């Protein structure tokens, strides 16, 4: 399954000044759209201008051949500077075949630094045909690492969520519905240089909220991961994971947000479901890949998580938040603090 989907192309902007090749301002890209506010802003860029970004001075540094990676790239690549000895810029990419790669962003061939497959023995990336009532219109042919990972430079860690299924014949032949335990999402914490597991990872994503138990089958983990410093009462950072229904699923599984202690992955997570009052009520946390955002509700105010939900039931009295813009406390069991119903 793995070899036929791989295509790798890394584009790194360069600037030719005399005989010197310069990257744009060296800035770490550690999360989806650069920061937890999801602004996409690079506030430290001082080299690139409208004058020097042109067809003769700015362009591609390197690309690598087809087959270098083992699956499609849906997640946003991330970049660090000076985190691996001997490499100035390192580009991290994650594939739909549940692999993570580190490439040298300064090499003329985008030289491979490291690679790890996160598929346990006896498992494979999830087949599109096995989820969503055998419908998978937006993604094909397999679903593995779909969301953008997040990097914590303070602990030299990259966090990533995989999606896999057992290759046991009994699992592969199981009915599409009800959800099967043969499918699992896992949260990994990997060392940036060695890709060794950290913080007791990996851990399966599991939990209950509103009397509903999360089931991996029928869900995908699309939003970029969020790392929020000092979110937990013990001072540890919080690692937040959003999940939604698979495209085409007829019973619209509930949307979910999980909050993990970033240094204690196996500790019980905080869990929030978007439509607890309605079984299969929809309200997926999808965001077209956008990461859950963070911001203060007023100058000097408290910090909250913000995200939108997809099609689903809205019932304020039952705390069902389909088709809504939702505001959550980052701790305290992810309690809703506000909402805006988009279809009024």
Q: What is the DSSP string of 238-295?
A: EEEEEEEEPTT-TT-PPPEEEEEETTBTTSPPEEEES-TTSTT-B----GGGPPPEEE
The single residue listed with the structure tokens 């240094």 is: 263
Which residues does residue 317 pair with via DSSP β-bridges, in sequence order?
none
Tokens of 174: 């199981």
Q: Indicate the helix (H) or strand (E) that contains 341.
A: strand 336-341
Distance CA 174, CA 168 (A): 10
Extents of the domains making up the chain: 3-341
Distance CA 164, CA 217 (A): 10
Q: What is the DSSP string of 189-208?
A: EEETTT--B-TT--EE---E
Supply angle C-alpha 269, 275, 279, rounded to 5.
Answer: 105
Cα Rg, the chain, nearest whole Å: 21
Which residues does residue 29 pair with via DSSP β-bridges, in sequence order?
79
Q: Indicate the helix (H) or strand (E) that contains 161.
A: strand 157-166
Distance CA 151, CA 72 (A): 21
For 7, phi then psi, to 5°, come to -140, 130
DSSP character at residue 4: G
Q: Indicate the helix (H) or strand (E) that contains 114.
A: strand 112-117
The list of the chain residues with pLDDT below 50 reads 1-21, 177-179
Tell me the CATH class for 3-341: mainly beta
The single residue listed with the structure tokens 């603090």 is: 337
Distance CA 238, CA 36 (A): 12
Q: What per-residue confidence (pLDDT) applies to 133?
A: 59
């Amino acid at each position: 399954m793995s070899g036929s989907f791989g295509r790798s192309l890394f584009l790194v902007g360069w600037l030719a000044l005399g005989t010197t090749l310069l990257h744009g301002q060296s800035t770490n890209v550690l999360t989806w759209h650069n920061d937890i506010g999801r602004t996409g802003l690079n506030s430290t860029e001082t080299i690139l201008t409208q004058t020097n970004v042109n067809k003769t001075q700015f362009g591609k540094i390197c690309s690598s051949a087809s087959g270098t990676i083992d699956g499609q790239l849906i997640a946003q690549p991330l970049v660090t500077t000076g985190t691996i000895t001997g490499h100035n810029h390192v580009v991290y990419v994650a594939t739909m075949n549940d692999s993570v790669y580190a490439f040298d962003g300064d090499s003329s061939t985008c030289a491979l630094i490291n690679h790890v497959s996160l598929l346990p023995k006896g498992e494979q990336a999830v087949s599109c045909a096995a989820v969503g009532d055998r419908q998978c219109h937006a993604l094909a042919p397999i679903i593995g690492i779909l969301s953008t990972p997040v990097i914590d430079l303070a602990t030299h860690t990259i966090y990533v969520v995989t999606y896999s299924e057992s290759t046991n014949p009994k699992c592969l032949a199981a009915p599409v519905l009800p959800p099967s335990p043969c499918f699992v999402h896992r949260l990994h914490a990997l060392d940036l240089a060695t890709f060794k597991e950290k913080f007791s990872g990996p851990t399966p994503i599991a939990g209950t909220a509103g009397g509903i138990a999360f089931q991996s089958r029928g869900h995908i983990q699309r939003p970029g991961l969020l790392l929020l410093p000092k979110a937990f009462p013990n001072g540890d950072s919080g690692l937040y994971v959003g999940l939604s229904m698979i495209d085409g699923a007829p019973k619209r599984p509930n949307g979910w947000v999980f909050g993990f202690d970033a240094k204690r992955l196996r500790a019980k997570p905080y869990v929030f479901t978007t439509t607890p009052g309605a079984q299969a009520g929809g309200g997926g946390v999808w965001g077209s890949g956008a990461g859950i955002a963070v911001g203060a509700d007023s100058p000097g105010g408290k910090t909250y998580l913000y995200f939108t939900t997809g099609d689903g039931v809205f019932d304020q009295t039952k705390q069902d938040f389909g088709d809504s813009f939702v505001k959550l406390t980052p701790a305290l069991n992810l309690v809703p603090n506000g909402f805006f119903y988009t279809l009024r």
